[in-house]
Homo-oligomer: A and B are copies of this chain.
Amino acid sequence: MDKNHLRDLLTCVKSGRLGIDSALETLQHLPYEDTGFAKIDHHRKIRVGHSEVIYCQGKTPSQVSEIFLRMSKGCDSILGTRADPEIFEATKKVLPETVFHEVPRILEYAKGKKKKKVGKVVVATGGTSDIPVAEEAAIILEAFGSKVERLYDVGVAGIHRLFSNVKVFKKANAIVAVAGMEGALPSVIAGIVNIPVIAVPTSIGYGSAFGGITALLSMLNSCASGVSVVNIDNGFGAACQADMINKLAVGRS
């Protein structure tokens, strides 16, 4: 509820068009819909710029499909991360337009025509095994309206593959760097280009890779400046911030 709505409300109270008790009620309750197990937040798009992305893990197929159905009334684009085929089936039944991106396990519902993609975000991975996490970032960035360029398998074991793509990195407004094992990729990229790097550690590796902890710690301790980090395997989180940065860069141009 922004300042203008608040002013309108107060004006109504002043003019007597709105009773004090009604105003009280309004002031204390921001609008959301209650399904019993989830509070659906139709105003979120206004507040944070895009509709809520549903985190499907830990929710039953029927919970997810009901949330999608209700949200579909208020907005044109809904995404579900960490979904699975069973959740997809349940959701497709109630919303046949829903599609399932298998590699990153994303559920996507969109109506109306696709919006034009703007700017440029590079999504890079250290290895082939990091691709599912990178695709989570890429698909969400595209759904949010950011142009994406993918650079996969450019890790430090064969560092010339990284260097031969420097010019691609340099054209981006933001870089999502996805890597497991020792997670050196974001450091090396940030040592070369002067662009915000969002580092995503992945759970790829074994033994003392500790399911991504090593990559996470490595990225947090990057000796190159301009690197920030999100949770292990959190392609979604990286996409959110990269999209915000890309839109900031594009919006003023």
Contact of A32 among B13, B20, B158 (CB under 8 A): B158
- The answer to whether A96 has its CB under 8 Å from any CB of chain B is no
B225 touches A153 (CB 8 A): no
Cβ-based interface call for A94 (8 A): no
Contact A232 B244 (CB under 8 A): no
A30 close to B184 (CB less than 8 A): no
Q: Residue A98 at the B interface, CB < 8 A?
A: no
Question: A3 at the A/B interface (Cβ < 8 Å)?
Answer: yes
CB contact between A20 and one of B11, B238, B249 (< 8 Å): that residue: B11
Near B by CB (< 8 A), chain A positions 203-253 give 203-234, 236-238, 240-241, 244-245, 248-253
**A225 touching B27, Cβ below 8 Å:** no
Question: How many copies are assembled?
Answer: 8
> Is there contact, CB below 8 Å, between B194 and A49?
yes
Flag if A244 contacts B195 (CB, 8 Å): yes
Q: Which residues of B contact A53 (CB under 8 A)?
A: 225
Known: A188-B188, A223-B156, A231-B207. A161 touches B214 (CB 8 A): no
In the assembled complex, the CB of A81 is this many whole angstroms from the nearest CB of chain B, namely 10
Chain A contact residue count (CB 8 A cutoff): 112
With both chains docked as a complex, state the minimum distance between the C-beta of A27 and any C-beta of chain B, in angstroms: 7
A173 proximity list for chain B (CB < 8 A): 248
Is B48 touching A226 in the complex (CB atoms < 8 A)? yes
B3, B156, B193: which contacts A187 (Cβ < 8 A)? B156
Contact flag A10-B32 (CB < 8 Å), given A37-B128, A245-B245, A253-B252: no
Inter-chain contact B59/A129, CB cutoff 8 Å: yes
Query: Taking A10-B24, A49-B194, A252-B253 as contacts, is the C-beta distance between A160 and B32 under 8 angstroms?
Result: yes
Q: Check A58/B248 contact, CB under 8 A, given A14-B14, A37-B153, A153-B39.
A: no
Residues of B within 8 A of A157 (CB): 187, 191, 223-225
Cβ of A152 within 8 Å of any chain B Cβ, yes or no, is yes
Can you list 26 A-B contacts with CB-CB less than 8 angstroms, sorted by A residue number?
A: A13-B13, A32-B158, A37-B153, A48-B193, A48-B194, A58-B127, A156-B188, A156-B224, A157-B225, A182-B221, A194-B244, A196-B241, A198-B228, A201-B207, A203-B207, A206-B231, A207-B221, A208-B216, A214-B217, A214-B221, A216-B220, A222-B237, A225-B237, A229-B229, A229-B230, A252-B252
Nearest first, the 9 A-B pairs at minimum CB distance are A207-B232, A58-B129, A228-B228, A30-B160, A225-B240, A248-B249, A184-B184, A214-B217, A182-B218
